[in-house]
């Protein structure tokens, strides 16, 4: 089986930004911050289909999200900022105050399709 590892980028999205005002507890915000975007070739390599539920893991924690294909370079995944994905981020800031919120390695496994 292919090694299921990618570099994850977190960032802003329109729906995530709206959710900051309308309520993080609402379904729209939850949906906006729990969808992982992947390159179609990576999805095929990993055996994932759109809407599959996958678990992401780092040495700091894990998170369960939905996955979908998107226009991204191979090897790169994107997800909107939010409490779910912050579980994967560690507290080491390399004396900068800034945690590693972008460009860290994640391991993926299929939970259900």
Residue 85 beta carbon to another protein: minimum distance, rounded to whole angstroms: 10
Interaction residues for another protein, span 84-103 (CB under 8 A)? 86-103
Considering the rule CB under 8 A, would residue 59 count as an interface residue with another protein?
Answer: no
Tell me if 27 contacts another protein by CB under 8 A. Answer: no
Interface with another protein includes 82 (CB under 8 A)?
Answer: yes
Residue 59 DSSP one-character state? S
- Long-range (24+ apart) CB contacts under 8 A made by 64-68 are 64/34, 64/111, 65/34, 65/35, 65/36, 66/34, 66/35, 66/36, 67/35, 67/36, 67/37, 67/38, 67/43, 68/35, 68/36, 68/37, 68/38
9 binds another protein, rule: CB under 8 A:
yes
d(CA 87, CA 19): 19
Q: Which of 1, 2, 25, 59 binds another protein (CB under 8 A)?
A: 25
CB 63 within 8 A of CB 84: yes
In terms of CB distance, is 107 or 110 closer to another protein?
107
CB of residue 46 to another protein, shortest distance in Å: 19
Binding-site member from 22, 47, 49, 111 for another protein (CB under 8 A): 22
How many C-beta neighbours within 10 Å does residue 69 have?
16
Binding site for another protein (CB under 8 A): 7, 9-14, 17-18, 20-25, 60-61, 71-73, 76, 78, 81-83, 86-103
């Amino acid at each position: 089986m292919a090694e299921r590892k990618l570099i994850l980028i977190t960032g802003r999205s329109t729906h995530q930004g709206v959710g900051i005002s309308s309520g993080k507890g609402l379904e729209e915000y939850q949906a906006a911050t729990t969808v992982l975007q992947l390159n179609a070739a990576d999805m095929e390599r990993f055996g994932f289909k759109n809407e599959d539920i996958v678990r992401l893991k780092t040495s700091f924690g894990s998170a369960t999200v939905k996955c979908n294909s998107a226009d991204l370079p191979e090897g790169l995944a994107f997800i909107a900022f939010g409490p779910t994905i912050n579980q994967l981020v560690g507290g080491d800031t390399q004396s900068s105050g800034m945690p590693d919120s972008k460009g860290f390695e994640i391991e993926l496994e299929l939970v259900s399709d």
